[in-house]
Amino acid sequence: MDTQERTIDLYEVAEIKLSYSAKVKASQRPKVDSSRQLQKNLSRASADA
């Protein structure tokens, strides 16, 4: 009786789906026009937390 060896491919993964649903309306979110503005908004938000 022959036995088959199974090799495991460590770089093969199943499909992953990530989704996010915000409870905040788009009109209430801050508008971001540039990466600099985003950085300011994020630093302000982390300072408030």
Tens-place pLDDT, residues 15-28:
889 998 888 888 99
Instruction: Name the residue among 33, 11, 12, 29 with its Cα closest to residue 20.
Output: 29
d(CA 46, CA 40): 10
pTM of this structure: 0.40
Q: Examine the pLDDT at 4 and tell me if it is beyond 70.
A: no
Domain residue spans of the chain = 10-46
Cα 25 to Cα 30, 36, 39: the distances in Å are 10, 23, 21
Query: Is 32 in contact with 38 (CB distance < 8 Å)?
Result: yes
- Confidence at residue 36, expressed as pLDDT on a 0 to 100 scale: 93
